[in-house]
Structure 1
Protein backbone atom coordinates (compact mmCIF):
# COMPACT_ATOMS: atom_id res chain seq x y z
CA UNK A 1 0.00 0.00 0.00
CA UNK A 2 2.89 2.38 0.67
CA UNK A 3 4.05 2.50 -2.95
CA UNK A 4 0.43 2.55 -4.14
CA UNK A 5 -0.32 5.65 -2.08
CA UNK A 6 2.90 7.33 -3.19
CA UNK A 7 2.00 6.74 -6.83
CA UNK A 8 -1.37 8.41 -6.33
CA UNK A 9 0.15 11.66 -5.14
CA UNK A 10 1.51 14.23 -7.56
CA UNK A 11 3.42 17.46 -7.11
CA UNK A 12 2.37 20.45 -9.22
CA UNK A 13 3.90 23.91 -8.99
CA UNK A 14 4.97 23.30 -5.38
CA UNK A 15 1.49 22.07 -4.41
CA UNK A 16 0.45 18.54 -3.54
CA UNK A 17 -2.48 17.24 -5.57
CA UNK A 18 -3.91 13.97 -4.26
CA UNK A 19 -6.00 11.89 -6.62
CA UNK A 20 -8.74 11.10 -4.12
CA UNK A 21 -11.99 9.37 -4.88
CA UNK A 22 -14.50 11.79 -6.49
CA UNK A 23 -16.88 11.31 -3.55
CA UNK A 24 -14.30 12.88 -1.25
CA UNK A 25 -15.10 16.36 -2.62
CA UNK A 26 -17.33 18.04 -5.26
CA UNK A 27 -17.10 16.68 -8.78
CA UNK A 28 -16.17 20.08 -10.23
CA UNK A 29 -13.21 20.36 -7.87
CA UNK A 30 -12.08 16.84 -8.72
CA UNK A 31 -12.24 17.60 -12.45
CA UNK A 32 -10.30 20.85 -12.02
CA UNK A 33 -7.52 19.15 -10.03
CA UNK A 34 -7.32 16.36 -12.58
CA UNK A 35 -6.99 18.96 -15.36
CA UNK A 36 -4.17 20.68 -13.42
CA UNK A 37 -2.36 17.40 -12.97
CA UNK A 38 -2.69 16.42 -16.63
CA UNK A 39 -1.58 19.89 -17.77
CA UNK A 40 1.48 19.78 -15.52
CA UNK A 41 2.46 16.25 -16.41
CA UNK A 42 2.41 17.00 -20.13
CA UNK A 43 4.27 20.29 -19.82
CA UNK A 44 8.02 20.87 -20.30
CA UNK A 45 8.39 21.93 -16.66
CA UNK A 46 7.68 18.36 -15.57
CA UNK A 47 11.13 17.48 -16.91
CA UNK A 48 13.93 19.51 -15.44
CA UNK A 49 17.61 19.52 -14.55
CA UNK A 50 16.75 20.82 -11.10
CA UNK A 51 17.72 18.60 -8.13
CA UNK A 52 14.31 16.94 -8.41
CA UNK A 53 12.35 16.20 -11.57
CA UNK A 54 9.73 18.71 -10.49
CA UNK A 55 10.89 22.19 -11.30
CA UNK A 56 10.04 24.19 -8.20
CA UNK A 57 10.62 21.68 -5.41
CA UNK A 58 14.43 21.52 -5.56
CA UNK A 59 15.39 24.78 -3.78
CA UNK A 60 12.70 24.26 -1.13
CA UNK A 61 13.93 20.71 -0.48
CA UNK A 62 17.54 21.89 -0.16
CA UNK A 63 16.52 24.65 2.24
CA UNK A 64 14.73 22.13 4.45
CA UNK A 65 17.50 19.52 4.51
CA UNK A 66 20.54 19.30 6.77
CA UNK A 67 23.41 21.21 5.10
CA UNK A 68 26.35 19.21 3.81
CA UNK A 69 29.77 19.44 5.48
CA UNK A 70 31.98 22.28 4.26
CA UNK A 71 34.42 20.02 2.39
CA UNK A 72 31.59 18.58 0.29
CA UNK A 73 30.11 21.96 -0.49
CA UNK A 74 33.56 23.20 -1.50
CA UNK A 75 33.99 20.48 -4.14
CA UNK A 76 30.43 20.99 -5.35
CA UNK A 77 30.87 24.75 -5.78
CA UNK A 78 34.32 24.33 -7.34
CA UNK A 79 32.98 21.92 -9.96
CA UNK A 80 30.14 24.26 -10.91
CA UNK A 81 32.58 27.17 -11.18
CA UNK A 82 35.36 25.51 -13.15
CA UNK A 83 33.37 23.41 -15.62
CA UNK A 84 31.01 24.37 -18.40
CA UNK A 85 27.37 23.56 -17.71
CA UNK A 86 27.44 20.63 -20.15
CA UNK A 87 30.21 19.04 -18.07
CA UNK A 88 29.12 20.05 -14.57
CA UNK A 89 25.76 18.36 -15.19
CA UNK A 90 27.62 15.05 -14.84
CA UNK A 91 27.86 15.81 -11.11
CA UNK A 92 24.93 14.87 -8.90
CA UNK A 93 23.05 17.70 -7.21
CA UNK A 94 23.84 18.52 -3.59
CA UNK A 95 20.44 17.14 -2.59
CA UNK A 96 21.17 13.85 -4.32
CA UNK A 97 24.60 13.83 -2.72
CA UNK A 98 22.96 14.05 0.69
CA UNK A 99 20.71 11.14 -0.27
CA UNK A 100 23.75 9.01 -1.18
CA UNK A 101 25.31 9.80 2.19
CA UNK A 102 22.11 8.93 4.02
CA UNK A 103 21.68 5.66 2.10
CA UNK A 104 25.11 4.53 3.28
CA UNK A 105 24.25 5.37 6.88
CA UNK A 106 20.86 3.64 6.75
CA UNK A 107 22.45 0.51 5.28
CA UNK A 108 25.45 0.56 7.62
CA UNK A 109 27.49 0.22 4.44
CA UNK A 110 31.23 -0.37 4.65
CA UNK A 111 32.19 -0.96 1.03
CA UNK A 112 30.96 1.21 -1.84
CA UNK A 113 31.71 0.84 -5.54
CA UNK A 114 31.13 3.81 -7.81
CA UNK A 115 31.32 3.51 -11.60
CA UNK A 116 31.82 7.04 -12.89
CA UNK A 117 33.74 9.39 -10.62
CA UNK A 118 33.97 12.76 -12.44
CA UNK A 119 35.45 15.29 -9.95
CA UNK A 120 35.01 13.09 -6.90
CA UNK A 121 32.03 14.86 -5.33
CA UNK A 122 29.76 11.82 -5.17
CA UNK A 123 32.63 9.63 -3.93
CA UNK A 124 33.11 12.11 -1.10
CA UNK A 125 29.39 11.90 -0.33
CA UNK A 126 29.71 8.12 -0.05
CA UNK A 127 32.81 8.52 2.14
CA UNK A 128 30.83 10.78 4.45
CA UNK A 129 28.27 8.01 4.82
CA UNK A 130 30.74 5.23 5.69
CA UNK A 131 33.37 7.17 7.66
CA UNK A 132 32.19 5.68 10.96
CA UNK A 133 31.80 2.12 9.67
CA UNK A 134 35.14 0.76 10.90
CA UNK A 135 38.66 0.13 9.68
CA UNK A 136 37.61 -1.75 6.54
CA UNK A 137 35.40 1.04 5.19
CA UNK A 138 36.29 1.97 1.63
CA UNK A 139 34.88 3.73 -1.45
CA UNK A 140 36.29 2.41 -4.72
CA UNK A 141 35.49 4.75 -7.60
CA UNK A 142 36.24 4.20 -11.29
CA UNK A 143 37.01 6.95 -13.78
CA UNK A 144 37.86 6.49 -17.45
CA UNK A 145 39.02 10.05 -18.15
CA UNK A 146 42.46 10.80 -16.72
CA UNK A 147 41.71 14.53 -16.57
CA UNK A 148 38.72 14.00 -14.32
CA UNK A 149 40.53 11.38 -12.27
CA UNK A 150 43.38 13.80 -11.57
CA UNK A 151 40.95 16.48 -10.42
CA UNK A 152 39.07 13.97 -8.28
CA UNK A 153 42.28 12.80 -6.64
CA UNK A 154 43.17 16.39 -5.77
CA UNK A 155 39.71 17.05 -4.35
CA UNK A 156 39.82 13.87 -2.28
CA UNK A 157 43.23 14.73 -0.85
CA UNK A 158 42.22 18.30 -0.04
CA UNK A 159 39.16 16.95 1.76
CA UNK A 160 41.39 14.62 3.79
CA UNK A 161 39.52 11.51 2.63
CA UNK A 162 42.24 9.73 0.65
CA UNK A 163 42.31 7.02 3.32
CA UNK A 164 38.65 6.22 2.55
CA UNK A 165 38.58 6.67 -1.23
CA UNK A 166 40.49 4.73 -3.88
CA UNK A 167 40.33 6.02 -7.45
CA UNK A 168 40.86 3.48 -10.22
CA UNK A 169 41.65 4.98 -13.62
CA UNK A 170 40.60 3.15 -16.76
CA UNK A 171 37.61 1.48 -18.38
CA UNK A 172 35.03 0.84 -15.68
CA UNK A 173 33.88 -2.51 -17.04
CA UNK A 174 37.43 -3.83 -17.29
CA UNK A 175 38.14 -2.57 -13.78
CA UNK A 176 35.26 -4.41 -12.15
CA UNK A 177 35.99 -7.56 -14.16
CA UNK A 178 39.43 -7.66 -12.52
CA UNK A 179 38.19 -7.57 -8.93
CA UNK A 180 39.05 -10.57 -6.82
CA UNK A 181 36.12 -13.00 -6.54
CA UNK A 182 36.01 -12.43 -2.79
CA UNK A 183 35.38 -8.69 -3.28
CA UNK A 184 31.85 -7.57 -2.40
CA UNK A 185 30.25 -4.17 -1.99
CA UNK A 186 27.28 -3.06 0.08
CA UNK A 187 26.30 -0.29 -2.33
CA UNK A 188 27.16 -0.06 -6.02
CA UNK A 189 26.48 3.18 -7.84
CA UNK A 190 26.33 3.23 -11.66
CA UNK A 191 26.73 6.68 -13.21
CA UNK A 192 29.01 6.20 -16.21
CA UNK A 193 28.48 5.73 -19.96
CA UNK A 194 24.81 4.95 -20.48
CA UNK A 195 25.46 2.44 -23.25
CA UNK A 196 27.34 0.32 -20.72
CA UNK A 197 24.67 0.05 -18.03
CA UNK A 198 23.51 -3.46 -18.94
CA UNK A 199 27.10 -4.73 -19.08
CA UNK A 200 27.87 -3.20 -15.68
CA UNK A 201 24.72 -4.71 -14.23
CA UNK A 202 25.37 -8.18 -15.64
CA UNK A 203 29.02 -8.18 -14.56
CA UNK A 204 28.07 -7.15 -11.02
CA UNK A 205 25.64 -10.05 -10.73
CA UNK A 206 27.77 -12.63 -12.54
CA UNK A 207 30.82 -11.90 -10.39
CA UNK A 208 28.77 -11.61 -7.18
CA UNK A 209 30.14 -8.14 -6.45
CA UNK A 210 26.99 -7.15 -4.56
CA UNK A 211 26.57 -8.27 -0.95
CA UNK A 212 23.47 -10.30 -0.08
CA UNK A 213 21.63 -7.29 1.37
CA UNK A 214 23.38 -4.81 -0.88
CA UNK A 215 21.91 -2.18 -3.18
CA UNK A 216 22.63 -1.15 -6.76
CA UNK A 217 21.71 2.44 -7.62
CA UNK A 218 21.68 3.34 -11.32
CA UNK A 219 21.49 7.06 -12.04
CA UNK A 220 19.93 9.06 -14.93
CA UNK A 221 17.62 6.25 -16.02
CA UNK A 222 14.89 8.73 -17.03
CA UNK A 223 17.28 11.25 -18.57
CA UNK A 224 15.18 14.41 -18.35
CA UNK A 225 12.04 12.43 -19.16
CA UNK A 226 13.17 11.41 -22.65
CA UNK A 227 13.50 7.69 -21.89
CA UNK A 228 9.79 7.12 -21.36
CA UNK A 229 9.08 8.85 -24.67
CA UNK A 230 10.92 6.23 -26.68
CA UNK A 231 7.93 4.02 -27.65
CA UNK A 232 6.24 7.05 -29.25
CA UNK A 233 9.39 8.65 -30.67
CA UNK A 234 8.93 10.53 -33.92
CA UNK A 235 12.15 11.78 -35.57
CA UNK A 236 10.17 14.51 -37.31
CA UNK A 237 8.32 15.72 -34.23
CA UNK A 238 8.86 19.39 -33.21
CA UNK A 239 10.73 20.15 -29.99
CA UNK A 240 7.49 21.06 -28.25
CA UNK A 241 6.02 17.61 -28.92
CA UNK A 242 5.90 14.80 -26.37
CA UNK A 243 7.25 12.55 -29.13
CA UNK A 244 10.43 14.60 -29.56
CA UNK A 245 13.85 13.24 -28.54
CA UNK A 246 17.01 15.18 -29.50
CA UNK A 247 18.84 13.26 -32.21
CA UNK A 248 22.22 13.66 -30.50
CA UNK A 249 21.09 11.61 -27.50
CA UNK A 250 18.58 9.25 -29.11
CA UNK A 251 20.89 6.31 -29.96
CA UNK A 252 23.76 7.13 -27.60
CA UNK A 253 21.79 7.60 -24.40
CA UNK A 254 18.01 7.21 -24.59
CA UNK A 255 17.84 3.84 -26.33
CA UNK A 256 20.46 2.20 -24.04
CA UNK A 257 18.73 3.50 -20.91
CA UNK A 258 15.34 2.31 -22.13
CA UNK A 259 16.81 -1.13 -22.82
CA UNK A 260 18.48 -1.14 -19.39
CA UNK A 261 15.23 -0.35 -17.57
CA UNK A 262 13.42 -3.08 -19.50
CA UNK A 263 16.26 -5.54 -18.88
CA UNK A 264 16.29 -5.00 -15.13
CA UNK A 265 12.52 -5.01 -14.81
CA UNK A 266 12.30 -8.42 -16.51
CA UNK A 267 15.14 -9.98 -14.51
CA UNK A 268 13.85 -12.58 -12.04
CA UNK A 269 17.15 -12.46 -10.11
CA UNK A 270 16.46 -9.01 -8.71
CA UNK A 271 13.80 -6.69 -7.33
CA UNK A 272 13.81 -3.14 -8.62
CA UNK A 273 12.18 0.21 -8.03
CA UNK A 274 12.45 3.14 -10.45
CA UNK A 275 12.14 6.42 -8.57
CA UNK A 276 10.99 9.45 -10.63
CA UNK A 277 13.26 11.78 -8.68
CA UNK A 278 16.39 13.69 -9.64
CA UNK A 279 17.03 12.31 -13.15
CA UNK A 280 15.60 8.88 -12.44
CA UNK A 281 17.12 6.46 -9.92
CA UNK A 282 16.81 2.70 -10.33
CA UNK A 283 17.19 0.87 -7.00
CA UNK A 284 18.01 -2.82 -7.33
CA UNK A 285 18.44 -5.66 -4.82
CA UNK A 286 19.11 -9.35 -5.32
CA UNK A 287 16.22 -11.75 -4.60
Structure 2
Protein backbone atom coordinates (compact mmCIF):
# COMPACT_ATOMS: atom_id res chain seq x y z
CA UNK A 1 0.00 0.00 0.00
CA UNK A 2 1.56 3.26 -1.11
CA UNK A 3 2.31 6.20 1.16
CA UNK A 4 2.04 8.68 -1.69
CA UNK A 5 -1.02 10.92 -2.01
CA UNK A 6 -3.71 9.65 -4.38
CA UNK A 7 -7.39 10.15 -4.96
CA UNK A 8 -8.81 7.03 -3.39
CA UNK A 9 -12.23 7.08 -1.70
CA UNK A 10 -11.36 4.04 0.41
CA UNK A 11 -7.84 4.54 1.80
CA UNK A 12 -7.03 7.81 3.60
CA UNK A 13 -3.93 9.73 2.59
CA UNK A 14 -0.72 8.33 4.11
CA UNK A 15 -2.72 5.42 5.54
CA UNK A 16 0.31 3.43 6.70
CA UNK A 17 2.37 6.42 7.89
CA UNK A 18 0.79 8.14 10.92
CA UNK A 19 3.93 10.21 11.43
CA UNK A 20 3.39 11.70 7.95
CA UNK A 21 -0.19 12.54 8.85
CA UNK A 22 1.08 14.43 11.92
CA UNK A 23 3.84 16.18 10.00
CA UNK A 24 1.47 17.39 7.28
CA UNK A 25 -0.91 18.63 9.98
CA UNK A 26 2.02 20.43 11.66
CA UNK A 27 2.99 21.89 8.31
CA UNK A 28 -0.49 23.27 7.75
CA UNK A 29 -0.53 24.75 11.26
CA UNK A 30 2.90 26.37 10.76
CA UNK A 31 1.77 28.01 7.52
CA UNK A 32 -1.28 29.53 9.21
CA UNK A 33 0.43 30.58 12.45
CA UNK A 34 3.43 32.27 10.87
CA UNK A 35 6.16 29.92 12.08
CA UNK A 36 9.67 30.86 10.96
CA UNK A 37 10.89 29.76 7.55
CA UNK A 38 13.67 27.69 9.14
CA UNK A 39 11.17 25.59 11.10
CA UNK A 40 8.89 25.21 8.08
CA UNK A 41 11.90 24.09 6.04
CA UNK A 42 12.83 21.52 8.66
CA UNK A 43 9.29 20.15 8.71
CA UNK A 44 9.43 19.76 4.93
CA UNK A 45 12.81 18.01 5.19
CA UNK A 46 11.31 15.51 7.64
CA UNK A 47 8.45 14.81 5.23
CA UNK A 48 10.87 14.47 2.33
CA UNK A 49 13.09 12.07 4.29
CA UNK A 50 10.18 9.72 5.01
CA UNK A 51 9.01 9.80 1.39
CA UNK A 52 12.57 9.34 0.11
CA UNK A 53 12.99 6.22 2.23
CA UNK A 54 9.78 4.75 0.84
CA UNK A 55 10.74 5.66 -2.71
CA UNK A 56 14.21 4.17 -2.28
CA UNK A 57 12.79 0.88 -0.98
CA UNK A 58 10.53 0.74 -4.04
CA UNK A 59 13.28 1.74 -6.47
CA UNK A 60 15.91 -0.73 -5.18
CA UNK A 61 13.43 -3.63 -5.22
CA UNK A 62 13.26 -5.79 -8.35
CA UNK A 63 10.63 -4.71 -10.83
CA UNK A 64 7.34 -6.58 -10.94
CA UNK A 65 6.54 -8.72 -13.95
CA UNK A 66 4.87 -7.21 -17.01
CA UNK A 67 1.66 -9.07 -16.10
CA UNK A 68 1.59 -7.55 -12.61
CA UNK A 69 2.40 -4.09 -13.95
CA UNK A 70 -0.57 -4.42 -16.33
CA UNK A 71 -2.78 -5.67 -13.49
CA UNK A 72 -1.88 -2.61 -11.41
CA UNK A 73 -2.44 -0.30 -14.39
CA UNK A 74 -5.86 -1.80 -15.20
CA UNK A 75 -6.88 -1.61 -11.53
CA UNK A 76 -5.94 2.07 -11.45
CA UNK A 77 -7.79 2.74 -14.71
CA UNK A 78 -11.01 1.13 -13.49
CA UNK A 79 -13.69 3.54 -12.24
CA UNK A 80 -14.45 1.70 -9.00
CA UNK A 81 -16.88 4.37 -7.79
CA UNK A 82 -18.95 3.80 -10.93
CA UNK A 83 -18.81 0.04 -10.41
CA UNK A 84 -20.09 0.53 -6.85
CA UNK A 85 -22.82 2.93 -7.95
CA UNK A 86 -24.05 0.38 -10.51
CA UNK A 87 -24.39 -2.17 -7.72
CA UNK A 88 -21.82 -4.57 -9.20
CA UNK A 89 -19.94 -4.61 -5.89
CA UNK A 90 -21.27 -4.37 -2.35
CA UNK A 91 -18.43 -2.36 -0.79
CA UNK A 92 -16.37 0.56 -1.99
CA UNK A 93 -12.91 -0.44 -3.16
CA UNK A 94 -10.00 1.38 -4.74
CA UNK A 95 -6.42 1.05 -6.05
CA UNK A 96 -5.06 1.77 -2.56
CA UNK A 97 -6.05 -1.81 -1.71
CA UNK A 98 -3.38 -3.18 -4.05
CA UNK A 99 -0.47 -4.92 -2.34
CA UNK A 100 2.07 -2.85 -4.28
CA UNK A 101 5.47 -3.64 -5.74
CA UNK A 102 7.48 -3.75 -2.52
CA UNK A 103 5.16 -5.98 -0.52
CA UNK A 104 4.32 -8.07 -3.57
CA UNK A 105 8.00 -8.86 -4.07
CA UNK A 106 8.33 -9.49 -0.33
CA UNK A 107 5.56 -12.11 -0.49
CA UNK A 108 7.09 -13.62 -3.61
CA UNK A 109 10.44 -13.91 -1.81
CA UNK A 110 8.88 -15.60 1.23
CA UNK A 111 7.08 -18.12 -0.97
CA UNK A 112 10.31 -18.84 -2.82
CA UNK A 113 12.38 -19.13 0.39
CA UNK A 114 9.94 -21.57 1.96
CA UNK A 115 9.71 -23.80 -1.13
CA UNK A 116 5.94 -23.56 -0.80
CA UNK A 117 3.64 -25.44 -3.15
CA UNK A 118 0.21 -24.56 -1.77
CA UNK A 119 -0.84 -21.03 -0.83
CA UNK A 120 -4.15 -19.79 0.59
CA UNK A 121 -4.97 -16.12 0.09
CA UNK A 122 -7.92 -14.75 2.05
CA UNK A 123 -8.91 -11.56 0.23
CA UNK A 124 -7.97 -11.39 -3.46
CA UNK A 125 -9.04 -7.96 -4.74
CA UNK A 126 -7.64 -7.75 -8.31
CA UNK A 127 -4.88 -10.31 -7.78
CA UNK A 128 -1.67 -8.35 -7.19
CA UNK A 129 -0.42 -10.49 -4.29
CA UNK A 130 -1.90 -13.75 -5.64
CA UNK A 131 -0.04 -13.41 -8.93
CA UNK A 132 3.18 -12.34 -7.21
CA UNK A 133 3.10 -15.47 -5.03
CA UNK A 134 2.08 -17.69 -7.95
CA UNK A 135 5.15 -16.55 -9.86
CA UNK A 136 7.35 -18.10 -7.15
CA UNK A 137 5.54 -21.45 -7.11
CA UNK A 138 6.66 -24.56 -9.03
CA UNK A 139 4.66 -25.56 -12.09
CA UNK A 140 2.45 -27.84 -9.96
CA UNK A 141 1.96 -25.20 -7.24
CA UNK A 142 -1.41 -23.66 -6.43
CA UNK A 143 -2.76 -20.42 -4.95
CA UNK A 144 -6.32 -20.78 -3.67
CA UNK A 145 -7.62 -17.20 -3.59
CA UNK A 146 -10.84 -16.32 -1.79
CA UNK A 147 -12.83 -13.31 -2.99
CA UNK A 148 -16.35 -12.35 -1.91
CA UNK A 149 -17.23 -10.32 -5.02
CA UNK A 150 -18.06 -12.15 -8.24
CA UNK A 151 -17.43 -8.97 -10.25
CA UNK A 152 -13.95 -8.47 -8.79
CA UNK A 153 -13.19 -12.18 -9.12
CA UNK A 154 -13.97 -12.06 -12.85
CA UNK A 155 -11.98 -8.84 -13.23
CA UNK A 156 -8.96 -10.47 -11.54
CA UNK A 157 -9.35 -13.73 -13.46
CA UNK A 158 -9.10 -11.96 -16.80
CA UNK A 159 -5.96 -10.09 -15.76
CA UNK A 160 -4.22 -13.09 -14.21
CA UNK A 161 -4.92 -15.23 -17.28
CA UNK A 162 -2.64 -12.88 -19.21
CA UNK A 163 0.25 -14.37 -17.22
CA UNK A 164 1.63 -17.90 -17.77
CA UNK A 165 1.44 -18.24 -13.97
CA UNK A 166 -2.28 -17.46 -13.91
CA UNK A 167 -3.13 -21.14 -14.31
CA UNK A 168 -1.72 -21.75 -10.83
CA UNK A 169 -4.44 -19.57 -9.26
CA UNK A 170 -7.83 -20.95 -8.27
CA UNK A 171 -10.32 -18.18 -7.43
CA UNK A 172 -13.19 -19.17 -5.14
CA UNK A 173 -16.08 -16.72 -4.87
CA UNK A 174 -18.16 -16.27 -1.73
CA UNK A 175 -17.77 -15.41 1.97
CA UNK A 176 -14.24 -16.31 3.03
CA UNK A 177 -15.34 -18.01 6.24
CA UNK A 178 -17.67 -20.37 4.37
CA UNK A 179 -15.04 -21.28 1.79
CA UNK A 180 -12.39 -21.79 4.48
CA UNK A 181 -14.65 -24.11 6.45
CA UNK A 182 -15.30 -26.11 3.27
CA UNK A 183 -11.56 -26.36 2.59
CA UNK A 184 -11.01 -27.47 6.18
CA UNK A 185 -13.66 -30.19 5.88
CA UNK A 186 -11.97 -31.44 2.73
CA UNK A 187 -8.66 -31.72 4.61
CA UNK A 188 -6.69 -29.08 2.70
CA UNK A 189 -3.37 -27.84 4.09
CA UNK A 190 -1.34 -24.83 2.98
CA UNK A 191 2.33 -23.90 3.24
CA UNK A 192 1.60 -20.16 3.21
CA UNK A 193 -1.63 -18.50 4.34
CA UNK A 194 -1.89 -14.80 3.46
CA UNK A 195 -4.81 -13.03 5.17
CA UNK A 196 -5.76 -9.63 3.74
CA UNK A 197 -9.54 -9.31 3.90
CA UNK A 198 -12.07 -7.57 6.17
CA UNK A 199 -10.29 -6.94 9.45
CA UNK A 200 -13.32 -7.90 11.54
CA UNK A 201 -12.99 -11.41 10.13
CA UNK A 202 -9.31 -11.92 10.97
CA UNK A 203 -10.03 -13.71 14.24
CA UNK A 204 -12.39 -16.20 12.58
CA UNK A 205 -9.98 -16.86 9.72
CA UNK A 206 -7.06 -17.45 12.07
CA UNK A 207 -9.05 -19.82 14.29
CA UNK A 208 -10.29 -21.84 11.31
CA UNK A 209 -6.72 -22.29 10.12
CA UNK A 210 -5.26 -23.21 13.50
CA UNK A 211 -8.15 -25.26 14.89
CA UNK A 212 -8.50 -27.40 11.75
CA UNK A 213 -4.82 -28.11 11.11
CA UNK A 214 -4.91 -26.28 7.79
CA UNK A 215 -1.31 -25.08 8.19
CA UNK A 216 1.13 -27.61 6.79
CA UNK A 217 4.23 -28.66 8.75
CA UNK A 218 6.64 -25.69 8.85
CA UNK A 219 3.92 -23.52 7.31
CA UNK A 220 3.53 -19.76 7.87
CA UNK A 221 0.53 -17.48 8.32
CA UNK A 222 1.03 -13.91 7.09
CA UNK A 223 -1.37 -11.22 8.36
CA UNK A 224 -1.50 -8.05 6.27
CA UNK A 225 -2.32 -4.60 7.68
CA UNK A 226 -1.23 -5.81 11.11
CA UNK A 227 -0.41 -2.22 12.13
CA UNK A 228 -3.71 -0.98 10.63
CA UNK A 229 -2.76 2.57 9.79
CA UNK A 230 -1.21 3.00 13.25
CA UNK A 231 -4.48 2.14 14.98
CA UNK A 232 -2.94 -1.05 16.38
CA UNK A 233 -0.69 0.98 18.68
CA UNK A 234 -2.07 4.54 18.77
CA UNK A 235 -5.09 6.07 20.44
CA UNK A 236 -7.85 7.27 18.08
CA UNK A 237 -6.74 10.86 18.71
CA UNK A 238 -3.12 10.17 17.79
CA UNK A 239 -3.99 7.97 14.82
CA UNK A 240 -5.61 10.98 13.07
CA UNK A 241 -8.09 8.77 11.24
CA UNK A 242 -11.45 10.38 12.06
CA UNK A 243 -14.49 8.23 11.49
CA UNK A 244 -12.60 4.98 11.97
CA UNK A 245 -12.74 4.86 15.77
CA UNK A 246 -15.20 1.95 15.70
CA UNK A 247 -12.57 -0.36 14.21
CA UNK A 248 -9.69 1.07 16.22
CA UNK A 249 -9.32 -1.99 18.47
CA UNK A 250 -10.00 -4.76 15.95
CA UNK A 251 -6.40 -5.40 14.92
CA UNK A 252 -5.04 -4.69 18.42
CA UNK A 253 -7.29 -7.39 19.89
CA UNK A 254 -6.37 -9.80 17.13
CA UNK A 255 -2.63 -9.19 17.57
CA UNK A 256 -2.96 -9.70 21.32
CA UNK A 257 -4.88 -12.95 20.77
CA UNK A 258 -2.09 -14.30 18.59
CA UNK A 259 0.54 -13.11 21.09
CA UNK A 260 -1.22 -15.06 23.85
CA UNK A 261 -1.79 -18.19 21.75
CA UNK A 262 0.58 -20.78 23.23
CA UNK A 263 0.62 -22.72 19.97
CA UNK A 264 2.54 -20.10 18.00
CA UNK A 265 5.36 -17.60 17.90
CA UNK A 266 5.25 -14.51 15.72
CA UNK A 267 7.20 -11.50 14.51
CA UNK A 268 5.84 -8.13 13.42
CA UNK A 269 7.47 -6.95 10.19
CA UNK A 270 7.04 -3.17 9.71
CA UNK A 271 6.81 -3.29 5.93
CA UNK A 272 4.13 -0.97 4.57
CA UNK A 273 1.13 -1.34 6.91
CA UNK A 274 2.71 -4.21 8.84
CA UNK A 275 2.86 -7.95 8.18
CA UNK A 276 2.57 -10.32 11.16
CA UNK A 277 4.35 -13.61 10.42
CA UNK A 278 3.05 -16.51 12.53
CA UNK A 279 4.48 -20.03 12.89
CA UNK A 280 3.89 -22.94 15.21
CA UNK A 281 6.07 -22.54 18.28
CA UNK A 282 7.84 -25.88 17.82
CA UNK A 283 8.84 -24.83 14.30
CA UNK A 284 9.91 -21.31 15.25
CA UNK A 285 12.90 -22.47 17.28
CA UNK A 286 15.51 -25.07 16.30
CA UNK A 287 16.44 -28.14 18.34
CA UNK A 288 19.42 -28.07 20.70
Q: Distance in 2 between matches of 1:127 and 1:272?
A: 24
Match of 1:280 among 258, 261, 274: 274
Tell me the residue number matched to 1:77. 73
Aligned match of 1:148 = 152
What is the correspondence of 1:14-163 to structure 2 with a 5 Å cutoff? 44=21, 54-83=50-79, 87-130=94-137, 133-135=138-140, 137-163=141-167
Residue 256 (structure 1) shift: 1.2
Residues in 2 aligned to 1:274 and 1:229: alpha-carbon distance in whole angstroms: 16
Matches within 5 A, 1:133-212: 133-135=138-140, 137-179=141-183, 180-212=185-217
Contact conserved, 1:100 with 1:129, CA < 8 A, in 2? no
Query: Are 2:225 and 1:254 aligned?
Result: no
The answer to whether the Cα contact below 8 Å between 2:63 and 2:101 also exists between their aligned partners in 1 is no
Aligned-pair Cα RMSD in Å: 2.2
- Taking the aligned partners of 1:276 and 1:46, their CA distance within structure 2 comes to 20
Q: Which runs of 5+ in 2 are unaligned?
A: 1-16, 25-49, 82-92, 282-288
Can you list the C-alpha shifts for 1:17-60, whole angstroms capped at 9, x where unaligned? xxxxxxxxxxxxxxxxxxxxxxx99563689xxxxxx5332221
Assess, with a 3 A threshold, how the Cα gap between structure 1 residues 46 and 266 changes in structure 2: closer, same or farther: farther
- Any conservation in 2 of the 1:143–1:149 contact (CA below 8 Å)? yes
1:243 Cα offset (Å): 5.9
For the Cα contact (< 8 Å) 1:97–1:122, is it kept in 2?
yes
Q: 1:100, 1:87 → 2: CA distance? A: 21
Q: Does the residue aligned with 2:188 lie in a helix, a strand or coil?
A: coil
Displacement, 1:83? 4.6
Alignment: residue pair count: 228
Q: Deviations over 1:190-221 (max 9, x none)?
A: 00000000110000001111112011011011
Please, what TM-score do these two structures have when normalized by structure 1?
0.74
| CA 258–41 in structure 1, closer or farther in 2 if over 3 Å, else same | closer
1:75-98 Cα deviation digits (max 9, x unpaired) = 112212225596111111111111
Number of the residue aligned with 1:24? none
Post-superposition Cα deviations, 1:154-206, rounded to whole Å, max 9, x if no partner, equal 11212233420000000001101001453110000000000000110000001
Checking the alignment, whether the CA contact within 8 Å between 1:229 and 1:245 is kept in structure 2 is no
